[in-house]
Structure 1
């Protein structure tokens, strides 16, 4: 009886432990969008003495840590018009739905200028 209880519990614990370390680092997330993008963004952050701490579909965050000074974060947006999902584009750091001009020919109203 005890073995029957311990085995399922250990399987659940092993399965759950995989989820604890499943998160990628921001560089890997950016590279998943486009190979080399993570290195580029990391260089942008490090040029100001900061490190890449977050990557999302349309923005990334650099954190600057200094001794005896509170950390500071800078969020930078990826270019407007960059695709960020199915029928979506980056606009002002947010992934927004593409707007169409439903005329002949079909055109887009993009936020990119």
Structure 2
């Protein structure tokens, strides 16, 4: 990859952190009283929180973002229909497996 290719590519993580960071700082700002302190504290908080969120790989992916990317919608509990189907398949798979490790191979009964 050439350096120009890297420069032309947008940092989507950075773009997705910004709305989340904005909302966090808006809430925090409401709890700071002194205007000068608030201005300085917010600047420091913004940099520190942004760096931490970026380092953690945190992003805000909204329903609108998912639709723009062509991804399926999430339900009210945060799962797509496809994910729910896969979870249910795994759950049923576990429920229908024999309980081999609880039944001794030699036919003896288990003791508590």
Instruction: Report TM bin, short chain.
Output: under 0.3
When you count strand as a share of all residues, which structure comes out higher? 1
Structure with higher Rg: it is 2
Greater percentage in helix: 2
Q: Of the two structures, which has the highest relative contact order with CA contacts closer than 8 Å and spacing of 6 or more?
A: 2
